[in-house]
Structure formats: structure tokens, C-alpha cells
Amino acid sequence: MKFSLQTSDEHFRPLQQASLSSYDPVNRSLAKIYDVVTFMQKRASFTTRDYGFDFLPFSFDVGLCFRGFFPSLICIGMLLGVGMPSAFAEEDEPLKELPRAVFRHTPPLFAEWNFETDVDAVVPPGFSPQTLGHGHPGEWMVQTNDHAPSRTHALVQLTPCLDSSCYQLLINDTIRVEYLDLSVGILSKLGTPTSAAGLVLGMQDLKNFYAVLVYPASNVVRVHRFVDGVPTLIKEHAVIPKKRTPWHFLRIQRNTIVSKEFFEISFDNQFFLSVYDSTFHTGQIGLVTTGGGAFAFDNLRVVELLTSRPLSRPPAY
């Protein structure tokens, strides 16, 4: 069936006058109808099958719309509800499906080394020895130790570093993390007063990293920032070992609160020092020794922390 519009100049004359009139609401409504019908004349014929109206075999006379205010309102509704969708059907762009959100979840990092499976290994798998400053290349080896916290083996650093600028490092090759909980057991054997052992974090390369060192001869913990191979003391604090055994426990937690980077350092399960610094972020982890003393390590552990870092910038106030 065809749904046609029958129009004539007599019907349009009131509309043309209304479109030129002033501010009367009725005239403005009639002017709208004139604009709509003018547009519909250009598309004077359209099928009712597109809208499921096959059972309506009639024609529509637009002249009925000009016989009063209320008929004009009815015609506006009919034209907008039936005619206008057909008029704009070909001009509308086809609907496009929005891209689906892709959720990615990376589980927090957790790794632990007790060196029980690396018996008599020169260097534990996944680690690389490095030497900073003037000194012989470091020698690291897993040896039997019946008093080790894990069970029967520990990692020993055998090469002394007598020069003040010498540091022996053992760096993990694969792990890079920013906010972490890093801990290790240290067997301290007194040597020179400058002998120290500890942990490395935020390592960018051999000359740029953080180091937290325990000096057993003086019972002091020092936090250093290495930039271009030169250590800068950030903070130090005296510690009193709580354990009566030669094995002690060093722990570092790095996190952020309201855009502030901080370290929390514990010794023998006792928190004692907070450090604020944000020079380095994501980096490698490892072990470090210096001086002429001999040190052993066991139960090296790293856990990635889920932070409360804000997603937006702080407010201006």
C-alpha cells in the first residue's frame, strides 16, 4: 500500500502567512507544520510496509491540519511519529557496536629463594654477580650451613671488598618491581668496621640504585642512594639485634601514600626507620656486600605490594 500526501496551494497559504507572522503560539505551530510538509513534499510517497501498517489502505489529506489549533497538534504528532522516521531513514548511519572493554589483570609478584635446590652452585640460577668500584670480581656460592634458617644451605659471598668504593652485588636478572616487600636473612661475621651487607632495590643499572646496608661492627643500618656510582647517605639509624643467634632478618617495604614515596625498614622484626625518596622507581632487586667481612644470605623473598596511589592529580586546594 502507498501512504501519500495530498497537498495544494490553498492548504499552504495559511502556513506561509503563519511562518511570516509574529509571536503567536498557534502561528508558530502552523509554521512548523509548513516546514515539515515542505520537506515531506520532496519525499511525497513512502510505503507503509516499512512500519508494519499493511492493514491501513488510506490516503492522508494534509489540509485537515489547517482547520484549528488542536487538529494541527494531532498532525504534528502523526507527521513526527510516522512520516519523519521514513524521511530520515536513508540518512541515518547504521548503528555501530561499541568496542568491548578489555580487562587485564596481572597477579602480584611473589618469589622466594632458599637456595636448597642450588647445592654447590657457583651462582644461583637467575642471578648475575657484578662489582662496583675497584675490586676483584665477586665470588658467590651456595654452601652447606646446618644453622641456616631454611634448612641446610645458604648463599655465601667469598670475595672481600677492601677499597672504600668497592661493592659486590648479586642482581636478579628478570624481576623488575616498584612497590615491594623485600626481605632476607643475613649471617654476619665481624670483619673490618666498614664491613656491611644488605639489599638492593630500584636498580636502574650498575651505577644507579638504592642500597640498605647493615654494619654489624657498629650496629648501624644505612640507606644509600647510588647515582653514577657515587653513594649518598640518605639516612642511618642504630639498631639493637633482638636475636642471640648470628642470623638476623632485614626487611624493606616500599610504598606510596598521597603521591609520597617512602621506605619502611625493619631489623629482626622490629620497625625502626622511615625514608622518603623518589629518585628511582621500578627496578631490579638483589644483594650487596662491602668491606672485608664474610657474609651469608638465606630466604631471600620479594612480594609486590598493591598500592593506594591516586588515579587523578591532587586537588588544587
Distance (Å, whole) CA 113 – CA 233: 29
Q: Is 312 helix (H, G, I), strand (E, B) or coil?
A: coil
Same domain, 232 and 272: yes
Q: How high is the pLDDT of residue 17?
A: 52
Give the rounded percent of residues in the chain with a pLDDT score beyond 70. Answer: 61
Return the C-alpha cell found at 310: 591516586
CATH number for the domain that contains residue 182: 2.60.120.560
Alpha carbon of 297 to those of 50, 114, 132, 157, 184: distances in Å? Answer: 81, 9, 20, 8, 7
Residues contacting residue 59 through CB under 8 Å, at least 6 positions apart: 2, 3, 4, 6
Number of domains in the chain: 2
Q: How high is the pLDDT of residue 253?
A: 94
Distance (Å, whole) CA 221 – CA 198: 9
Pick the closest to residue 85 from 46, 41, 38 (CA basis): 46
Distance (Å, whole) CA 17 – CA 34: 10
Residues contacting residue 184 through CB under 8 Å, at least 6 positions apart: 199, 249, 250, 287, 297, 298, 299, 300, 301
Residue 7 lies in a domain: yes
Say whether pTM exceeds 0.85: no
Same domain, 127 and 71: no
Same domain, 45 and 134: no
Residue 84 lies in a domain: yes
Average pLDDT over residues 98-119: 72
Using one digit for the tens of pLDDT, what is the confidence trace for 256-267? 887 788 999 999
- Among residues 54, 88, 122, the one where a domain terminates is 88
Residues contacting residue 47 through CB under 8 Å, at least 6 positions apart: 1, 2, 3
Structure-model confidence comparison of residues 178 and 105, the more confident one: 178
Are the C-beta atoms of residues 247 and 185 closer than 8 Å to each other? yes
Q: How high is the pLDDT of residue 298?
A: 94
Using one digit for the tens of pLDDT, what is the confidence trace for 212-252? 999 988 889 999 999 999 999 999 999 887 767 788 999 99
Same domain, 77 and 162: no
Same domain, 84 and 119: no
Residue 99 lies in a domain: no
Same domain, 65 and 168: no
Residues contacting residue 195 through CB under 8 Å, at least 6 positions apart: 215, 216, 217, 289, 290, 291, 292, 293, 295
The residue segments making up the domain with residue 196 are 110-304
Residue 314 lies in a domain: no
Average pLDDT over residues 41-45: 47
Same domain, 43 and 118: no
Residue 203 lies in a domain: yes
Residues contacting residue 305 through CB under 8 Å, at least 6 positions apart: 108, 179, 180, 181, 253, 254, 255
Are the C-beta atoms of residues 139 and 160 closer than 8 Å to each other? no
Residue 101 lies in a domain: no
- Among residues 30, 54, 88, the one where a domain terminates is 88
Same domain, 212 and 247: yes
Residue 296 lies in a domain: yes
Q: How high is the pLDDT of residue 64?
A: 57
Average pLDDT over residues 71-76: 64
- Among residues 88, 121, 141, the one where a domain terminates is 88
Same domain, 291 and 209: yes
Residue 261 lies in a domain: yes
Return the C-alpha cell found at 24: 503567536
Q: How high is the pLDDT of residue 223?
A: 96
**DSSP codes of every residue in 110-132:** EEEE--SSSTT-SS-TTEEEEEE
